Structures are given as structure tokens and as C-alpha cells.
Amino acid sequence: MDKMFRKLCVKRGSRVSTINDWLQIQIGGTEDVKKKKPNNQNRIKSTKYTLLTFLPQNLLEQFRRIANFYFLVMTIISLLIDSPVSPMTSLLPLVFVIAVTAAKQGYEDILRYRTDNVVNRSPVTVIKNGVEAIIQSQNVAPGDLIVVERDCDVPCDLVILRSTDPHGKCFITTANLDGESNLKTLTVPRDLPTVPIEEMHKLGMIECETPGTDLYSFNGKIELAGGEGRVLPLSSENVLLRGSRVKNTECVIGCAIYTGMATKLQLNSRLTRNKTASSETYVNRFLIFILIALIAIVTLLYFLKRYNELFVIPKLTYLGPAADGYSVKQFLQDYLSFLILFNYLIPISLYVTIELQRVIGGFFMEWDNELYEKETDQQCIVNTSNLNEELGQINILFSDKTGTLTKNEMNFQQCSIAGHKYNYKKTRLEEAETKVLSDINKFSMDQKVFFQALAICHTVQVATSMTEVAPVENAANKQETIKSGPPEMYSISDITEESHNSSQHSELNVSNPIETSLSVHPNGVNATVTSSSDVNPLLFSDDSYKVERRKRPQVVKRSPNFARSNKVHIASPGETPDSGASANGHSSVGLHSPPIMRPISLQFQRSTSERDLPQFGEAHNGAALGHRRAHSYGAPNAYLTSPVGNQTPPVSGLFRAGSTVSRESYAAPTFTRQPTMLIRAESQRRKQEIQQTLCLLDYQASSPDEKALVEACANLGLVYTGDDDEVLRVRIVPPHLDYKRPINSGKPKEDAFHRLHVLEFTSDRKRMSVIVRDEGGKKWIYTKGAESYVFPLCANSSADMVVKTDSHISDFARLGLRTLAIARREISDAEYQEFVSSLAQANSSLENRKQLSEECYSKIESDLDLLGATAVEDALQDDVADTLVSLQAAGIKIWVLTGDKVETALNIALSCGHIPPDAKKYIILECKSRDDLLVHLNVLEREIVFGIGQECALLIDGKSLGVALAEAPKEFRDVAVKCTAVLCCRLSPLQKSEVVALIKSSNENYNTASIGDGANDVSMIQEAHVGIGIMGREGRQAARCADFAFAKFCMLKRLLLVHGHYHSVRLSFLVLYFFYKNILFMGIMFLFQFHTLFSSSSVYDSLFLTLYNVIYTSLPILFISLTEKPYTEEKLMQNPKLYKKNTDNKQLHWPYFLMWTLFAVYHSVIIFYFAYCIFSFNNVILNGGQTAAFSCFGTLLIWAVVIIVNLKLWLESMYLSFWYIATLVLSILAFMVTTVIYNVINLDYDTDIYWAYNNLLASLPVWLYVLLTVIACLLPDFTLRMLKRALNIKTFSIFPGKQRKLEMRRKFESTYL
């Protein structure tokens, strides 16, 4: 079905017309449009290049770098003039750098293209003229009728037209949109006529507004075709948004309205932009400094040369006549010759070395075992290695809440009943004071009433209801399934075999006897068994179960609202559709249904969550993977690797494809059987059966709190088994039986309550209520909600209990638990009738309907008897509190941006340590104007100023934040950044990215990072300087779009404090060293010009100029830039404050750069003049007694340079290893070997160094010179290093500088202002 789903999105025709800024979309499309079908209307795109634009766009980006552009100009100049050195010395390094960088960026863009294709080429089921077809997702077009099955993602924005739910409802989760994984309800438009499927494309036309970013609003209408011409209104309750996931509804059909980049999800996503590390700003500053110095040097040397030509050379007649210095040609020749001679001041190889260091450093992060999640077999993923060092520069971290800080798993922990506090122990309650354990058999009346209230006061739905797990009579003989419901409304295709917590299904082949059923191993392993007790006895009370329970398959019926085929025969893969008998001699099942049915062509395959894909391991066979939309990742046909035509799927059989891992489930995790001896074998068995029951029932709730409470009741023995026409059924099953007593003996007691009304929870009421009628005919109202709203509704008779319960709730809150108060009372028939009539009158009112309804609710929600309170824990991610505290200690301010409710977010922020417990909490809610907001901000700023040393936390909702972003962004930003923690609630995805953009616009130049796990976090992740994704339950779109991704939030601590610190130190070292060695290299060239009448001749051979940065000095710095560790990993993890030493790129500030430059100048002077003195006073230094030639002078200089720069690197390194020392030695040996080989070949190409280096190697004075030069150069470096360590001198504390003044001013303002 997924294939059909995706192909819809690429349908060929524009079926949309625009009138007065409203879109008109023909349902199913029109005939004339179907002939002309433009492709890719539903395609999403995150790539930067195409085949045509890659080369020009990539070259344009690369030549924006100063060094690349400079060397391009120098190469062109060297080709145009009489260059003093070979043009290849500039051209070859430039081509190498450009090619390596282009290959890296092209490869990363190919990876983005492939991940886009996972989505764009995934299969989608569409209905065309009443026939189902499978197309690619990118081919869906507006107007297409799309089929979405249960647990499948929605490929585009749809208007719901049909649902299998009898009441026309569709249940979804929107975790990828707003971060909430709670169940939400959508409906088919009211009064929409039910037409046959093959007639749906003639239903009419949809007219709606142009797409916008608001996820919670939609305006439109359906103009029905035919003589009636009725118009039905459409709202957001009728629209399925892309990124939603269908839950608890077998199948829905919708009409595509917004596709591709026009969907609300994509409009809330930022376009992919190029991210650059902040370190490149400093590199560019240094390059500009060097470039200015280069121009100054060249200009100085040119004028000195002109001086010599005018006043010195004429006196030296043997030099011949001087050149015409007034000629423009001669000016260009001289000036540009100097420019080419000194172009190695600009280190072009710096960029390619940085690229290699980043790529290999990214591999190191991916190979880190501490960032590897064993349970999911998931390693860290580095999508953008350009930002490795940026991990060590984070000032502000923006985090999602649901799925990032929390697991979104609620666990019932404690409760207060009738003034007594109890701890929850799975199947028992433990009284807090006496530690007495009691099970349901020993419950008091207060306890029974309390848990009965929890079992019925909710809106939880059962995904697999009790009536759907149908018994099969005489299964061994008849070999056929018996379904509940009218037989004429079902075909055998309606029956699917489903595990309660898994999507791992066997192929359903009815040609063989249906004897096997899926069971769940106590350890959570799915197993297919033939004759085991796989049907939970808690679900059945009939006596026939004793005989038949070993043979019954578990079957799940589909709703009759969505009919299938006329007559369906389920065949084996090798069986023809016409074969009438099964392999075992029994006739196959064929059940008749009405004429209008779902075509047999449809293959029913269940979807699974994306994590079911085993790391794409089995799919790397050259085929592009498909994105899970309407098919399972493990399904054989889940991936479309070639274009799919609008064909009809084969009719060879209907099979349910299975995945390899359990599908996403909201059921509680299964118990794990302990290997040790069980104290109570029967108790453990009953616990497992209860757990299996919970998994099979698969509770779906609008709130995770409700789900946790209902599951807790089931564990205690009150199993909510679902509702049948508003009749709630609660089965009472004692969890502990006598050991010798048969587990299935007796009939469990079952209570039934008829639900009359549900008074829904709203953010204003802070509570929900249900009105029920019990089996005795009495009517009760049960209320559950925040204690501050429930306590005032309680009767005076409950005053004492209110005081006790309030004390217990305070204790629960101190533990970070989420609390709810529970109350009830009996209502009379007269009071109920009055409520019904008042509510009907309120609902019929055209004005103030909401207010009148709430008045009715408040009237009946009064004089309640307080039963107690519950305490539920929202399970945090592993070590999340330690991670947040450590990051805050590292100087990182944390902002939590969530789409969740204010109360929920605040509770989580307190429990996870995001907001310190003693911090002042300032809350801004429901601000509607700029003036209101400024009043709040002024008060908050005064709190911060006068509360010196007091931590302050800000909480703001989406509406107030919208005002802040639109009308007072600067004022909000300046106050918010002063807070210790900021919590923003009820935000849309676009608002999240706007908050990040606002902080980035600050003059303080904050470095930001964003972390999230859902598609709703993508815009925030892409907007931040560093985007971090968590591969969570709700898909991996965030991980794909992020720069870095891993499995658990706690890994962020190591990623920032260890890898971020290391990469920042390493890159700073790399950059400074590159400038040092090039300044030293060219400094000797500069000094040489003063002794050659500024002739623009080179002291080095072209070989040395070419290989200096490529071979002689490249390997050691690359190696140490990958392995340097100023501190051990353990120390960095234990002392987060060390992270501050590198933030704001401190080691790339001017004092460090100038100090390295100073050493480079000093070393160049020592090397040059030591050699100059030797050659000046007595140049008879060769063993044969000959004088040394000029080629020996240049070779001796480069020899000393190579040795000095490598030993200087050794001296500055902190982490020494044998491999590192080997690279230093090999680099020096590489110079010696290449020079020996080069000087024995008689080449008269540049300078004649034939046999020059061999003579130097045989000379003792030369070796003494090298030794003396090394000592003279490195002695000051070594001395300063030892003094710093001995006297504990802080680096560059003697340089006040502008930066230090700014820091002192900032510290003063934060303390006294």
C-alpha cells in the first residue's frame, strides 16, 4: 500500500487552480489533466547541487576562500610573466586542493540525494478510477486519492474522505510535527456522503486556502458534485498533515491538497544552507593579515630594487645597464615577480589539511565505542564534518523535550488514597509507613473505588479490543476462523494475523490449516508456535477455552466500514487465483460481501517503524532504499528501485509481509524472565500473562499519563478491556492464585459501565470528567485533573482529606512526579436530565458556545468526594540530569523548545535538572500585545539585576513568544540570554527555528547548537550553527538532516566535552602551525633579497617550493591534529569547566597568532644568518676542500628549515606516541631521500644542485651548523615552556588587549548591573 501511497504524490497533472488566493482541487483529478502529468510534484529536496550546477557552484564556493582565489590569481600571473619560479609550484597545489574539496562536498551531496530518494521513491497506494495502484511518493499530485494504513506515515497533506472507523474517526500521532506522541483524533467531514470507492473521484471539488506554516489551522470546503451542490466546511480536524502517523485506525482514504515543498511540514522547515565553522572567520582574519603583510613586503622590496637600479647598479659596470624602471611592462614584471616569489606566505595546503583532518576526525567520532548504542546497534553519525571543531564552541544549546530529554514513557509510582500514601509495586501496593504489601484480594473499599475510578475515568482506546480476539470453535477439525459481526460485511482479506507487540508476521497462507499463532516470549522475543498456550487466559471467561486454547489463532478483524473485494481466496504464492481447494484437501474460505468492495489487487502489508530497518545492512546491494510510508521497511516490496508505473499490483495472493523488529508500540515493555529461581512461580506466571494482556490490548491514549494509570490498574488486577458502544468493561483478575490452582479455572469477574458523557480536558479547565451508569443503574461522575482545580470542587466533607492529600502531593512534586487528583460523586436522575438539557441548549447556541458549555460542566462538577491522588513519573532519558548539569557547568546555557503543554514541560524541566530547584521561575503566558510583554520583561530584568547571584529561569508559551518575535525581538533576546535556563512551550517548528535565528543575530556572536529527534525539530536543527539529531522512535528525519546524530541524549556530554574540546584544540594548533612554518619559510626568502640587490631570485629550488607543504611538513601536523590530547578523556568528563578554555576560539585569538609569528621570525633570522656567517667567513666547508656553491647555500637552508619546523611541532605537542614521533622522523628522512635522489640527476631545469646535497652530507661543519642552529632556535621555546609549567603562568595574561577588556566589562556588568 505504501507504494501506491507514494506514487500518488507524483501524479502527472496540475490539478490545482488558483482563484482569489484559494486553491481549487478536483477530487481524483479531471480527465483532461491526466494526459499531461508533470512529475515530482511531491518531491522533497535537501541537496545543494545538480549535475549541471555542481561544477560552477562548487568552484564559486571554493574560490570565495581567500587562499584559493589568491593562488588562482598567482597561477594566472605566473603564466603571463617571466616568473622567477615555475608556474607549476602554484598550479599543482591549487588543483589538488580544489579537487579534494570538490570530491568531498560532492560525496556529501550524493548522500543527501540518496536519503531524499528514500522518501521520494517510497511506494504509495492511490485509487484511480476505483482501482488501486502503486506509485512513487514523488509522483503524488494534488487531487490524488491516497490510501494510508495503520502505523503508516502520511506522504502529503490530505483531506480525510473515508475511514475504517465506524464513527468516521482517524487516530494519529504527530510526534514528527509538534513533538507530542499522544493520540489525536481527526474525523471525516460531517455529512459527507458515503459513495463507492470507484465513484470517489466524482465526489466533487475541494476549495482551500493557500498553504501556510500554521499546523493548527485550516480553512476550506468541499463542493459536492451533482444536482444538490451542497457545500461542506473543512477545518483542521479533517486534515492529515505530512509527518503524521495513523494509529489505531486500520485504513483511511484522503485527497491530496498540499504536496512536496508546499506541505505544512516542509514550510516549517528551513532550506538547507551552507554551515561554516566560526574558526574559519579567524583563519580568514589571519589570511587578510598575511595578505596585507605580503603586499607591504612586495612593495618595500620593489622600491628597494628601484633604488638599487637607480643608484647602485650604475656603479657596478660589470652588471651591465639597468633596466628601464619607468616602463609599465617592467614595473609589472618586477612587482608581480616579487608577488609570485612570496605567494607561499599564503598557506594553500592549509585548507586541504583541514578538510582531511575533519573527515578523519569524523571517522574517529563514528568509531567511538562510547557513542555506540549496543541495543539498537547504532553508532554516531557525522553528516557534516566541517563543523567538528564547532562542537567545542557552543554557548547556547536548544533542545527538544519529547523523545530528547524524555522517553515519553509514563510510569505509575505512588498514590494517595483516603489520606494514606502508597508505593506502587507492579501487582501490589505498599503502604508507605508500615511497608505492608496488599494485592487486589486485600484491597479496602477505598482502594477498590480509587482504582476503579482510574480504570474508567479516561479516554483510552484499545487497539485490539476483546471482541476482536475472537475464539475459534473446533479449530482442529474445521480449520476456519469465526469472526464477529455480520458475515456478509467481511471477506477473508479482512482477517490479519497480528502479534500484540510486533509486526513480525508470517505469510498468511490459508491453503494450509491455520494452526499457528503468534505468541510473545516472556523475554520479548516473538515466536511462532503450533500448540502452546499463546492466547492469554485473562482474555476469556468461557469454559470452551480450556479445551481450545491451544489451537486458537489470534485474529484481528478490520472494520466493516471499509469493504474489500467481492469474493476473495487467499492463495499460496504458487497457487493460481482460480484454484478452489487448499493443499490439505479443505476448501478455501470465500465469504461474499457487497458489490462495492476493495479490489483484490491490494497487498495488505503492515508498516513498521523506521528503526525496524536493520541499519540498512541488507539493502546495500546497489538498490536504493525506500522510505517507510505505507509499507514496512522489512517488506519485500517496500523499496522501489526503478520507476514504477501506474500498474495494478499482482493478484497472486494477499500476504502480510513482516519486518524483523517489533513495530512501534505504546504498550509497556514486557517483563524479562530472570534466570534465578523464582520465589513465587505462579505469581511470576500471572505477571507475564497480565503483561501479555497489556501488550495485546495495546492501549492508545491521548495522554501518556492516562495510559500509565490504566496499565497500572491492569497490573493490579483491574484490566480495562475496551468499550463497546460506550460500554466500558473492566475485568477483575486477582494477580496471585494458589500454586496448585489451575490458572484458567473459574470465570473472571467483569464490571460494565455505560459511559454517558465525557467532559474533555482543556488547558483552561485543567481536568476531565466522565459520567457513567453502573450495572445497578446509578449514575456517577468521576473527575481527574490538577489538584489546584479539583480540590475547590470537593465537598466540605472532604476537607480533612484534602489537607492530607495536598501534603502527599507536595511530597510527590518534590520527587519530580506528575500529580493528578481523583474525585467522584453520585448524581441523581433529575440532576443528570437537567445537565443533558442544559448542555444541549449550550451546544445549539451560536454565540458563547464554549462558555455556556463550561458553565454546564462546572455545575455538575461540584460537591465531589475526594478519592486521592496519583503520582506518575515521566521516564527521562538515561543520565539526562547528569548531562544537563555537566553542560551547564561547562558554561552552556540550555533552552528547551517544545510543542508540549506548559505544565508538562515545566515538570520535566524541574525533574531533569534543566531548571535548578532553587532558581526563581518567571512565567510569561497569554501575552497579546507588545506592551504586556515589555511589562513582563522589565520585571524579569529587575529580578535578575537585583537578585545578584540568584539563578533565574524563564518560561514562555507560544502565543507570548510569537508577540516577542514579531514586535520586541531585541528586548526579549537581551533579557532571555541573561537567564540561567529558558523553557519555551507550545511552539510550532517554525517558531523554534525563529528563536534560534534570533539568538544568532545577537552582537555577542553566540555559537548555538540544536538537538532533537523528530521532523518538527528539523528547522531548528538546520538553523543552528550545529545541528544534532537523536535517532529516536518517531523516525530519523531529524538524524538525516542533522550535522551529527547518535542514539541517546546522554552521549551529547561526551560529544561536546571530549570530542568538541579535542577538535577545537587540534584545529587551533593546526592553523597556527601552518602560518608559523610558512612565515618561517618565506622569512628566509625575504632576508635573502637584501643580499641579492633585490633581484627577485629564489633561494630555494622549485622542488623544495613544491614539496615543502606537501611532503616535508604535512604528515606530522596532520597526525597530531588527529591525536592531540591536552587532557585525558576521563578528566574532561569529570571536569566540565575545562570546556570553557576553548570556547569563543580562545586559542585562535591574536596573542596566540602573534606569538607563533614572533617565533617564526626569530627562527628564520637564526637559520639564515647562521648559514650566512658560515658562507661569508669561510665557505671552504666541503670535505674535498672546495668552496660551496650557491646551490649548497639554498639546500642547507631548506634542510635546516625542515628540521626546525618538525622539532618545533614536537616541542609544542602534548600527546606523544611512537607513531607520532615516527611521522616526524619520516618527514625529515623524506626530505633527505628526495633531495639525494633529485641532486644525483643532472637536470638543468631551475637551479643546478647536482651533487650539492651529497657534498653537504659529507661535510662535518654542515652537521655542526645544523646542530647549533637547532639548539639556538628551540632553546627559547623550551625555556618559556618550562617556565610556564614551573611558575604556573597563565598564557598571555600580560596582554590586556581588547578581548580581555571586554571580558572584564562583561564580568562587571553581570555582577553589579
Q: How many other C-beta atoms are found inside a 10 Å radius of the C-beta of residue 93? A: 22
Structural contact between residues 499 and 520, judged by C-beta atoms closer than 8 angstroms = yes
Report d(CA 371, CA 904) in Å as an integer: 29
Determine which helix (DSSP H) or strand (DSSP E) holds 247, and give its type and residue range. strand 245-247
Angle at 1028 between CA 885 and CA 60, to 5 degrees: 135
How remote is the C-alpha of 1085 from its chain's centroid? Answer: 52
In Å, what is the CA distance from 872 to each residue of 789, 814, 822, 907, 911?
Answer: 18, 13, 13, 11, 12
Report d(CA 499, CA 507) in Å as an integer: 13
With 0-12 / 13-18 / 19 or more C-beta atoms within 10 angstroms meaning exposed / middle / buried, residue 699 is: buried
Closest CA to 334 of 1031, 976, 1094: 1094
Q: How many other C-beta atoms are found inside a 10 Å radius of the C-beta of residue 1014? A: 30
Report d(CA 256, CA 9) in Å as an integer: 8
**Can you tell me which residue has the cell 512513487?**
136
Which residue type does 732 have? I
Determine which helix (DSSP H) or strand (DSSP E) holds 949, and give its type and residue range. none
Under DSSP, is residue 818 helix (H, G, I), strand (E, B) or coil? strand
Lay out the sheet containing 169-174: strands in order across.
180-187, 169-174, 245-247
Supply 93's cell numbers.
597545489
Q: Mind giving me the DSSP string for 1048-1099?
A: -TTHHHHIIIIIIHHHHHHHHHHHHHHHHHHHHHHHHHHHHHTTTTT----S
Q: Mind giving me the DSSP string for 601-653?
A: T--------GGGS-TTGGG-SSPPPPPPSSS-TTSTTS---S---SPPPP-S-
Q: Could you tell me the end-to-end alpha-carbon distance of the chain, in angstroms, rounded to an integer?
A: 64
878 among known catalytic residues: no
Report d(CA 179, CA 402) in Å as an integer: 6
Where are the alpha helices (H) located in 968-1025, listed in sequence order?
969-976, 989-1000, 1018-1023
Where are the alpha helices (H) located in 743-794, listed in sequence order?
787-790
Where are the alpha helices (H) located in 915-977, listed in sequence order?
930-946, 958-967, 969-976
Nearby residues of 255 by Cβ (< 8 Å), 6 or more positions away:
25, 27, 28, 143, 144, 145, 146, 158, 159, 161, 206
Supply 247's cell numbers.
494509529
Handedness of CA 444, 450, 454, 455 (dihedral sign): positive
Report d(CA 772, CA 827) in Å as an integer: 10
R_g of the chain computed on alpha carbons: 38
Residue in 109, 116, 400, 900 annotated catalytic = 400
In Å, what is the CA distance from 557 to each residue of 74, 249, 428, 498?
Answer: 76, 12, 35, 10
Under DSSP, is residue 483 helix (H, G, I), strand (E, B) or coil? coil
Determine which helix (DSSP H) or strand (DSSP E) holds 982, and give its type and residue range. strand 981-985
Dihedral angle, C-alpha 1083, 1084, 1086, 1087, nearest 10 °: 120
DSSP assignment, residue 1111?
I
Q: Across the strands, what pairs with 700?
A: 461
**Can you tell me which residue has the cell 541488507?**
618
**Orientation angle between helical segments 1061-1089 and 279-311, nearest 10 degrees:** 0
Determine which helix (DSSP H) or strand (DSSP E) holds 183, and give its type and residue range. strand 180-187
Active site residues: 400
